[in-house]
Amino acid sequence: MRAREHASAIVLPDQRVAVCGDWHGNQGWARMISRALPHLAPDVSTILHLGDWWMPPGAVDEIFAETPITRFYLVAGNHEQWDEITPVLDKHPGEAVQVSELTWILPRPARLTIGGRSVLALGGASSVDRESRQEGQTWWPDEAITDEHVAAAIAGGSADLMLTHESPGNTPVRPVQKILRTNPHWFTKTALEASAASRAKVSEVWDAVRPELLAHGHMHVGAGGKTADGRRVASLGREGHEWNLGILDMETLRMATPSLAIIRGMAEQS
């Protein structure tokens, strides 16, 4: 651990940032992003990662060493090494903790400012596959979004942008709605109930804070949607899939999502 910074003190001038969905520790995919991103957005120096990162911090430094990236902020997901993350965050409440040259883990919740926009980050999600995992080795209860997290996130007031791993329950993203409705992977009733409770917590914060844009991972599908009152949601895909990478304009809060073919083509030019 190198340094700490209270999340509210993080004020970045960046006008554009990269936003990434789940990587699941896939260093080959991270390397592809590192080769493509300087061609796609040479002005971008910050990556916001929406969880299921599961990456050795030193690997991030090595992979992005020859790129313009100077900061990598993690909004932790469910499939993380919570036995390592929780003690660090508990020791430094409210602080982003630097765990490598580039990598910072954001607290739960976190408030920061990017490009003049207020940002709320709320990490955590429910693992629908936890019944096939072993507690303390491949699954940790710390993944859960707690009532305390919800209360603290709401107490901070409105935000322009919300970053989560978990999807809101009342999502307007139709492909996510379909997954929730059809349960294509045959998850158990217990797992689905826990997942629904987790999404309800995100919805509670989302409806209170009312950001213009909410971006999340976790669902492994790349798509967007808009509510009747104009709030937008971007669901980012997992590594190797469409919409894993987004380039977010902080002035307009519009996100460009280069196709998988473009990412691979740009990476090959490096």
What's the pTM? 0.97
Distance CA 161, CA 28 (A): 29
Q: Which among 105, 10, 14 has a CA at the least distance from the CA of 57?
A: 105
Give me the tens of pLDDT residue by residue for the chain, a chain 270 residues long.
567 888 778 999 999 999 999 999 999 999 999 999 999 999 999 999 999 999 998 999 999 999 999 999 999 999 999 999 999 999 999 999 999 999 999 999 999 999 999 999 999 999 999 988 999 999 999 999 999 999 999 999 999 999 999 999 999 999 999 999 999 889 999 999 999 999 999 999 999 999 999 999 999 999 999 999 999 999 999 999 999 999 999 999 999 999 999 999 999 987
Kindly list the domain boundaries of the chain, sorted by start residue. 3-269
* Per-residue model confidence as pLDDT tens digits over 180-208: 999 988 999 999 999 999 999 999 999 99
Q: Into which CATH architecture does domain 3-269 fall?
A: 4-Layer Sandwich (3.60)
Tokens (6 digits) for 90: 């508990």
Q: What is the pLDDT of residue 1?
A: 54
Instruction: Using the structure block, give the residue that is written with the tokens 């520790």.
Output: 25
Q: What is the pLDDT of residue 57?
A: 86
Distance CA 225, CA 203 (A): 15
